[in-house]
């Protein structure tokens, strides 16, 4: 069976990714901010898919008023499905994948779970966008008697249930009325760990998460900060942009304001514990991959020659020490960086209000 072709009206060329704007791949461009409605937008970057080398050109804009940063024009559902799914024969750069794995490293998951110890052991916990439920698996170390459930857009969550990592598996977005109706008011904790940036409507996702909480329950959020100084320094080489898969980056003040508008109490907010030390290594890995001969891919009209494929493999291996050195520098600088504007992520814990007593 041949590999699927990308849903675009424009084929990629040897000079670079295809022009964007296909009606099948992109929605119409927005002229206003999806968070605050301001029309004062500025372009932050235009880039191809630097990590998976799939065709297309993607634009990220930012609101001059509230700072919300978003893909514009946004991919359609068809475009998102193509860029998120695995494609047989698609190239993968091991160095970049290892750097990205820091987001889901067990020690990071344990750190997020440990942050909830101060509130006691919850009876029920929903992890949104859980995938294979590696976070609930790590969190059981601290909460052995908690019932963990998970939601995900893919059937991976059902595999997680089969592995015993979650008790209930729900396939579909949390904003789906059918999913929301089943989960309303059931949980003491709902976690959104690096999930909001992948959603088409982060405000609606946030509201749905609050609806799944019981009164007095806690919302645990970790997400990327578009104000990170590395983003301005590296531009499209800043790995957390990860175009075209990340659709929204929310400044902390926007998220705090939205939670307070819903009556929530902000219990904890800060960057130190959430920072992921991978900015230098990520930029190095992306730049290295981009500078080498183009990889083979199912959607290329003319495949690379055997010599080009061999040369890419050899040069990638030769460049690995550069990525390792950058990763070690990230780790060495992390204790200082996480206290500065270079911190790339933040954590918020918010408490849902209880009904007023009469």
Q: What is the pLDDT of residues 230-279, one digit of tens each?
A: 999 999 999 999 999 999 999 999 999 999 999 999 999 999 999 999 99
**Residue 88 maps to a domain:** no
Name which of 99, 53, 1, 122 is nearest 328 in CA terms: 99
Range of the domain at 242: 103-276+344-351
CA 284 to chain CA mean position, Å: 20
Write phi, then psi, for 244 (nearest 5 degrees).
-105, 20
Contacts of 285 (CB under 8 A, 6+ apart): 93, 95, 96, 99, 239, 323, 326
Q: Taking all residues of the chain, what is their mean pLDDT, rounded to a whole number?
A: 89
**Residue 339 maps to a domain:** no
Range of weakest confidence among 40-44, 94-98, 239-243: 94-98
Give one DSSP letter per residue of 198-233, joined into a string.
Answer: G-S-HHHHHHHHHHHEEEEEEEEEEEE-TT-HHHHH
Determine which helix (DSSP H) or strand (DSSP E) holds 183, and give its type and residue range.
helix 177-183
Per-residue pLDDT of 135-169, as tens digits, reads: 999 999 999 999 999 999 999 999 999 999 999 99
**Is residue 41 within 8 Å of 63, Cβ to Cβ?**
yes
Read off the pLDDT band of 90 (50, 70, 90): low
pLDDT score for 3? 41
**Residue 172 maps to a domain:** yes
Determine which helix (DSSP H) or strand (DSSP E) holds 70, and give its type and residue range.
strand 69-71
Give one DSSP letter per residue of 78-123, joined into a string.
Answer: HHHHHHHS--TT----HHHHHHHGGGG-HHHHHHHHHTTGGG---S
**Residue 23 maps to a domain:** no
pLDDT beyond 80 at 201 = yes
Structure tokens at 295: 């990889």
**Residue 96 maps to a domain:** no
pLDDT beyond 70 at 23 = no
**Residue 183 maps to a domain:** yes
Structure tokens at 198: 């992948």
**Residue 332 maps to a domain:** no
Number of separate domains in the chain? 1
- Cα separation, 133 vs 100, whole angstroms: 17
**Residue 245 maps to a domain:** yes
- Cα separation, 42 vs 110, whole angstroms: 38
Q: Which range is most confident: 26-40, 98-112, 293-307?
A: 26-40
Residue with tokens 């001969």: 293
Q: What is the CA radius of gyration of the chain?
A: 21
- Residue 150 sits in a domain of what CATH number? 3.40.50.150
- Cα separation, 80 vs 54, whole angstroms: 12
Structure tokens at 336: 């200082």
Name which of 89, 85, 88 is nearest 75 in CA terms: 85
């Amino acid at each position: 069976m041949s590999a699927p072709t990308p849903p675009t009206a424009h084929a990629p060329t040897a000079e670079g990714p295809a022009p964007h704007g296909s009606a099948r791949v992109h929605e119409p461009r927005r002229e206003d901010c999806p968070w605050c409605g301001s029309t004062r937008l500025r372009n932050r970057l235009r880039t191809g898919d630097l990590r998976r080398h799939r065709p297309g050109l993607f634009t990220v804009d930012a609101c001059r008023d509230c700072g919300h940063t978003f893909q514009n024009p946004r991919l359609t559902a068809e475009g998102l499905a193509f860029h998120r799914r695995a494609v047989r024969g698609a190239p993968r750069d091991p160095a970049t994948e290892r750097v990205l794995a820091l987001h889901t490293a067990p020690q990071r998951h344990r750190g997020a779970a440990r942050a909830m110890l101060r509130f006691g052991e919850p009876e029920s916990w929903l992890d949104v966008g859980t995938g294979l439920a590696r976070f609930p698996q790590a969190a059981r170390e601290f909460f052995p008697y908690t019932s963990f459930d998970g939601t995900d857009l893919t059937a991976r969550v059902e595999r997680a249930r089969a592995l015993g990592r979650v008790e209930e598996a729900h396939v579909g977005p949390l904003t789906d009325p059918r999913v929301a109706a089943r989960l309303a008011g059931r949980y003491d904790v709902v976690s959104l760990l690096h999930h909001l940036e992948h959603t088409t409507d982060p405000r609606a996702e946030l509201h749905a998460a609050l609806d799944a909480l019981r009164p007095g329950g806690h919302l645990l959020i970790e997400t990327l900060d578009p104000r990170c100084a590395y983003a301005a320094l590296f531009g499209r080489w800043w790995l957390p942009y990860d175009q075209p898969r990340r659709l929204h980056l929310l400044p902390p003040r926007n998220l705090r304001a939205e939670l307070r508008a819903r009556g929530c109490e902000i219990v904890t907010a800060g960057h130190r514990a959430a920072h992921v030390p991978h900015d230098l290594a990520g930029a190095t890995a992306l730049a290295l991959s981009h500078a080498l001969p183009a990889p083979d891919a199912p959607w290329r009209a003319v495949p690379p020659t055997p010599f080009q494929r061999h040369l890419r493999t050899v040069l990638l291996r030769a460049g690995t020490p550069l990525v390792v050195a950058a990763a070690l520098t990230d780790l060495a600088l992390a204790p200082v960086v996480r206290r500065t504007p270079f911190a790339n992520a933040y954590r918020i814990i918010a408490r849902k209000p209880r009904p007023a007593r009469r």
